[in-house]
Copies of this chain bind each other. A is one copy, B any other.
Amino acid sequence: MSTTNLAVIPGDGIGPEVTAEALKVLEVASPVKFEQTRYDLGAERYLATGEVLPESVLAEIKEQDAILLGAVGGKPNDPNLPPGILERGLLLKLRFELDHYVNLRPSRLFPGATSPLAAAVLDKGEIDFVVVREGTEGLYTGNGGAMRVGTPHEVATETSVNTAYGVERVVRDAFARAQARPRKKLTLVHKTNVLVNAGSLWWRITQQVAEEFPDVTVDYLHIDAVMIFLATDPSRFDVIVTDNIFGDIITDLAAAITGGIGLAASGNINSSREFPSMFEPVHGSAPDIAGQQKADPTAAILSGALLLEHLGHPEAAAAIDAAVLADLAERGSEPRTTSEVGDAIAARV
C-alpha cells in the first residue's frame, strides 16, 4: 500500500469539525494510506502570533501530495483581524504560490436536496454541471492602485490581467473535462461586448482549443445572461469555463440554486502537477455555529472525493459520491450532528 502525503489545514470556526469528517470518510474510501501533516493556519493563528502563512510552512506544504482545507476566517468585524488579510495572505496566496490555475466547482442537484428553485425549473432536466474557474489571473492578481487616497480626487484602479498562457491552459483543461462527460458541452462565459481586450483573448483561445476537441459543443454566454439561465434553466449547462471573478460569482449562485452552499465542494488544482492541489468546501468558517456539531460536513466530504479523483483514484471518489447521494436521499427532517453525518456517509462507503 503506497503512502500519500496530505497537508491538512482545518482552519477556523466549523473548519476543524467538517475536516474531521472528511478525513474519516477519506480513510475509509482511499486505496492509499494518507500520511497527514496538520498545519494550524487561519484566524486563530494570526490573532495569537501575527503570522498568516510563514515562508517555512509554505515551503513544507509545497512538498506534500495534496492539501485538504476546512475553512478559514475569524468572527465578523473582529477589530484585530484586518479585512481580507486571511483571504489574501492565506487562501489566495496558496492558490497563486501553488499555481492553482483550475478552480473546479461541480454543481449538482442531489436527490433529496432542497433547492429554492421551483419544480417548474427543475423539471427542465437534471442539473449537473461543473464550473472551471481560472484561479491565478484576472482581477485577483493584485494589480491595482490608488492615488490621492482620502481626498476628493482619489482614483482607485483594479486591473484584470489575462495572458494567452494562463487562458489557454485552463480552457484546455475545461475542454478535456467536457470531453470526458456524457453531454460534451462547454460554455465560455465572459463579457466580450464590454471587456473587449480580455474578452477577445478568451474568445479566440476557446475557438482555437475547440479544434482539438471536435466532439465538444461550444457555446458562449455573457455573464449577465448566465444569471438568467442559472435561475431559470440551469440544466442547460455542462462545463462552464470562465475567468476568476466571474467564476467566483457564478459558483456561489450555482451552489445556492442546487441545494445550498453546504453541499458545494471545490478543488484548487494545478493540473500540470508541479504543485499540490488543494481541496476545500466552498462555504466559510461560520464562527457562529462553531464547535456545536451543527455544521454539515457534506461539502468537505465531497471535496475529499475531488481530492481522490485528482490523485488518480476515480473509483474511490465515486464510492464517496454514491455514499453522499444515498445519505442525502434518506436525510429526514431530524437534525444530525456533524459527526453523525460523517459516520453515516463513511458507513455507506
Which residues of chain B have C-beta atoms less than 8 A from A228's C-beta? 252-253, 255-256, 261
The CA-CA distance from A158 to B144 in the complex, in Å, is: 11
Q: How far is the CA of A160 from the CA of B251 in the complex (A)?
A: 22
Residues of B with C-beta under 8 A to A168: 152
Residues 138 to 161 of chain A near chain B (Cβ within 8 Å): 139-140, 142-146, 148, 150-161
With beta carbons under 8 angstroms apart, the residue of B142, B201, B245 that contacts A191 is: B245
A318 contacts the other chain (Cβ, under 8 Å)?
A: no
Chain A residues 194-248 with CB under 8 Å of chain B are 194-198, 200-201, 204, 223-225, 227-228, 230-232, 245, 248
> With A231-B257, A252-B224, A252-B228 as given contacts, are A158 and B83 in contact (CB-CB < 8 Å)?
no
Q: Which residues of B contact A115 (CB under 8 A)?
A: 118
A1 on interface, CB distance cutoff 8 Å: no
Most buried by B among A223, A249, A261: A249
Residue of B116, B119, B120, B140 touching A121 (CB-CB under 8 A)? B116
Residues of B within 8 A of A251 (CB): 224
Choose the segment among A84-92, A171-179, A302-310 that binds chain B (4+ C-beta atoms closer than 8 Å). Answer: A84-92
Given contacts A116-B121, A144-B197, contact A157 B162 (CB under 8 A): yes
Count of A residues near B, CB < 8 Å? 68
Partner of A253, one of B92, B158, B193, B253: B253
Selected contact of A116 from candidates B92, B231, B256, CB within 8 Å? B231
26 contacts between A and B (CB under 8 A): A87-B193, A92-B194, A116-B120, A116-B232, A117-B117, A118-B119, A139-B160, A140-B194, A148-B164, A151-B164, A155-B163, A156-B162, A157-B162, A157-B198, A158-B162, A158-B198, A159-B159, A159-B160, A224-B249, A225-B252, A227-B249, A227-B256, A228-B256, A231-B257, A232-B256, A232-B260
